[in-house]
Structure 1
Amino acid sequence: MNLLTEENRKRIGNRLFYVALLIELILMIAEKSEYYFDFESYVFRVTFALTVLAVVIKRHDKKQWLLIVAVWVFTFICYRITGRNELLRFSTFVMAAQNINLGKTMKATFWINLTGFVAIALLAVTGIMGDVYKVMDYGRGNENELRYVFGFGHPNTLWGCVYALMLLWLWVYGSKARLWMWGVLLGLLLLVGKLTASRTALAIGLFTFVLGLIVRYATGIGRKKIIYVLTSLVTPVFCVAFSTWASSVGYIPRYEFGHPWYTVVTWIDENLNNRLQNIYRDTAKHAGSLQTWKLFSDKESFEYFDMGWVRLFYWYGIIPAALIALLVIAFIYLCYRQRDAWTLILILSLSIYTVIEATFVSVYIGRNMLLPVLGVYIGYYLERMRNDSKS
């Protein structure tokens, strides 16, 4: 009896992936709280080893192996140059997701996130760990501004977790949700938006909510090619273009008072809570501003700031970030092949959100709920190509 049949290899590989995903989700939830854990790098090594094993155990043809090895070589080179191993870890995680049960995986991810985030809030409310609210200057010139955090350390972190739950809910339950469920979701978004005072993030959340309603009740819209084309123009094209511009105008002499663009830049900057000028002003070497971008980043480019697409180019380099942008376009194409408007909503919303917040440009795999979807859809496409070559 051959224990390493293709079916058994797939089953073993999938179980390894599920274990890695569970560990990553628990680690991400712990990081969202005010609990300090000092052994993250060791946990990342364990989950990376699990996903490598999952990739190796699963069956691949020669062309697929060439692609896998090429990705590993490129991301390993990026790691050696920048000292950051996220591209290697994330790409391996995506490749390990091939053939998983996507519906059950996303549903489990939603409920694990919901349980963890509720636990963080309850620990804060009961006084066990974390603050319910914080009074400080959040960059708006008010030193006594009160915003609620419910154990998440910062109001934007609280909002980001509710936002992630909304995206997961849309993917898992949106297509069958009744109107009253949409009403509850809207009320929750408005309540959390009020408590956290995260204005721009709330606007993106409401925009996503409207898109979800349209896809839910506009029958057949997911089969329209135009929505996939329009999404690819917004993300990554517009998101990258705006972020590139933003990284060049933070506080540069040609945009000082009296310049024709001064009013426009100032208005945008004020509505983004000074994110443009902070890229230039927050560090002595102006980390994240356009002059700090390189074809490949380096081990000295480690500073944090809010704008996510800018961080992507700064942390990893122009070439890796450009390839990621192309991968997003490819992902949109795969959604079109699947006629999957729900994943399309998540791609669009996350890309716009990442312009202003870097929550999803992170070392934590568990933050990005789209990685398993990407892995499965790439698997579908490669399998289809293999079958077409046989026919």
Structure 2
Amino acid sequence: MDGKSKMEIGNTKIKNKYSLERIGIIVFYVSVLLELIIVIIDKSNYINPIEGQLFRITFVFACLKVLLTKYTKKEWLAMLAFGILGLISYKMTGRNEILRIVVFIAACKNVDMRRMLKFVFYTTLAGCMILVLLSISGIYGGVALVNDFGRGYIQTRYTLGIGHPNALHCMFLMLLSLGLYLYNDRMRWYYYIVLFGLNYGLFVLTDSNTGMLMSMCMIIGAVLIRYWKGIRQQVWIYGAGIGLFLLCIAFSVLAADSRVAKPSKYWFENPWVAEAESHLNGRIIDLYYGSVNQEGTTATWSLFSRPENNYYFDMGFVRLFYWYGIIPAAIYVILHILLILQLYKRRDGTGLVMVSVFAIYTLVEAHLVSVYIGRNYILFLMGMYMSDMLYLGSEKEAYIWNAGKLI
């Protein structure tokens, strides 16, 4: 075979490689788009009768992206290990979220994740604006709720088509956080003032204390990263981020343990739990008196959970342990810490602010602990950095049909 023929064969292989990768990326975008549409539908008043089928389609598309992507030997082994974890979880609980997340994170390889996150940002923003416009125009969805929201008096709080006032401010927080993560380095000082104004204006409509406070923390954190010279280079802020995350986990575990909380007559004998509950508007007490079997307390936790653990409550990290089990939750804690270490290596200060705000928010709200991949932006960051987080990189890569050659 002459040199020209060898060159032609080499060029053909390169073209085939890029064709497969391009197809895989397109398929992955379709998968993410479907995930986002599912999220938007869930935020509306519409009950989606085919949600489960749509999740299966997104899973198949993500699997197809994996099949059309080259991975290193370590990456294939990591996928296998986490896949087994997902299968065990599915077998023990009937939940397929871990398996879906494993495939989703693996499918993020070779995808420009910042561009993907911009796609997520604008698609979610457009979806929420459509719900708001449909609501205020009277076409579909409620504008406000009149109810006693656990504060002992009747209130009118606005939803603007997004189901619940807390959910409305939650979506503002999520979009605000993602927008600042993507564009903070290009922000003008007066943009932050506009964001403060929007947050306060929305608070007047929703009266959502948690959403307002967390949004304010996100804006202040972004301002500090933007204008405090050299702060993003400092190791201590990333250490503080890890400490804050672990503190949120520890608080959740202790609050859910009846031996620590000491519930008694719809209150708590433990003074610090009682003090925390006075600010959390029934979130801890709901674990002990919201169900017959005290669903969510540590007495209902197990290593891999069980099918009966399907009760809904607000505290996100408690739900993580309750829904999925102690072992999967512990693995997530480790991965979250590794993610923060990766943010330190890249001096990604705004990313640190975002995951820290999300940690505090997940302490009291379970928005990020759900069946919806498209609304958990931490999973996108893990997809961006997972190979580096676990040191899985290598020069040799192969598609699944050639993976045996890597051994």
TM-score range, shorter chain: over 0.9
Which residue of structure 1 aligns with residue 249 of structure 2?
Answer: 240
Q: 1:370-381 counterparts in 2 under 5 A?
A: 370-380=378-388
Offset of 1:258 from its aligned partner? 11
1:218 aligns with 2:223: no
Matches within 5 A, 1:340-359: 340-359=348-367
Using the TM superposition, give the Cα deviation of residue 12 of structure 1 relative to its aligned residue in structure 2, in angstroms.
Answer: 2.2
Query: Which of residues 145, 156, 162 in structure 2 aligns to 1:152?
Result: 162
258 and 195 in structure 1: CA distance in 2 versus 1, 3 angstrom threshold: closer
The structural deviation recorded for 1:208 is: 1.6
SS at match of 1:2: helix
What corresponds to 2:403 in structure 1?
none
Q: 1:282 aligns with which of 269, 275, 290?
A: 290
The equivalent residue for 2:57 is: 46
Q: 2:164 aligned with 1:170, yes or no?
A: no
Check the 8 A contact 2:266/2:285 in 1, yes or no.
no
Separation of aligned partners in 1, 2:244 and 2:373:
24
**How many residues are treated as equivalent by the alignment?**
386
Could you list the per-position Cα deviations for residues 344-381 of structure 1 after superposition, in whole angstroms to 9, with x for gaps in the alignment? 11111111100000011111111112322221212455
Structure 2 residue aligned with 1:268? 276
Distance 1:259 1:136, change over 3 A: closer
Counterpart of 2:213?
203
Q: Which runs of 5+ in 2 are unaligned?
A: 1-11, 397-407
Which residue is 1:325 aligned to?
333
Q: 1:31 is matched with which residue?
A: 42
| Unpaired stretches in structure 1, ≥5 consecutive residues | none
**Hey, what does 1:16 align to over in structure 2?**
27
Q: Which residue type is aligned with residue 286 of structure 2?
A: N
Flag the structure with larger Rg.
2
8 Å contact kept, 1:123–1:130: yes
Tell me the SS of whatever aligns to 2:161: coil
Give distance in 1, aligned partners of 2:214 and 2:268.
31
Which residue of the other structure, out of 74, 82, 99, is the alignment partner of 1:63? 74
Change (3 A) 1:381 1:354: closer
Match of 1:157, as an amino acid? A
378-387 or 152-161: bigger deviation? 378-387
Q: Distance in 2 between matches of 1:62 and 1:302?
A: 37
Query: Residue 386 of structure 1 aligns to a residue in which SS?
Result: coil
Tell me by how many angstroms 1:268 deviates. 1.6
Cα 1:233/1:24, change in 2 over 3 Å: same
Tell me, in whole angstroms, the C-alpha distance in 1 between the residues paired with 2:258 and 2:395: 50
CA distance in 1, matches of 2:196, 2:268: 42
Quickly say closer, same or farther: Cα 1:294–1:18, change in 2 above 3 A.
same
1:148–1:195 contact (8 Å) kept in structure 2: yes
Distance (Å, rounded) in 2 between the aligned partners of 1:250 and 1:158: 36
CA contact (8 A) 1:244 1:310 kept: yes
Q: How far off its partner does 1:193 sit?
A: 1.6
Cα displacement string for residues 19-42 of structure 1 (whole angstroms, at most 9, x for unaligned residues)? 100111111111101122100110
How high is the sequence identity, in percent, across the aligned residues? 36
Relative to structure 1, the CA distance from residue 254 to residue 196 in structure 2 (aligned partners, 3 Å threshold; closer, same or farther) is: closer
Q: 1:163 to 1:259 in 2, by over 3 A?
A: closer
RMSD (Å) for aligned C-alpha atoms: 2.2
Q: 1:88 aligns with which of 71, 75, 99?
A: 99
Q: Do structure 1's residue 229 and structure 2's residue 223 form an aligned pair?
A: no
Residue in 2 aligned with 1:369? 377
Instruction: State the distance in 2 between where 1:90 and 1:303 align.
Output: 21
| Alignment TM-score, normalising by the size of structure 1 | 0.93
- Cα deviations by residue, 1:106-133 (Å, 9 ceiling, x for unpaired): 1111111111111111111011111111
TM-score (norm 2): 0.90
Aligned-pair distance for 1:251? 10
Contact 1:255 1:261 in 2 (8 A): no
The structure-2 alpha-carbon separation of the partners of 1:252 and 1:243, relative to structure 1 and needing over 3 Å to count, comes to closer
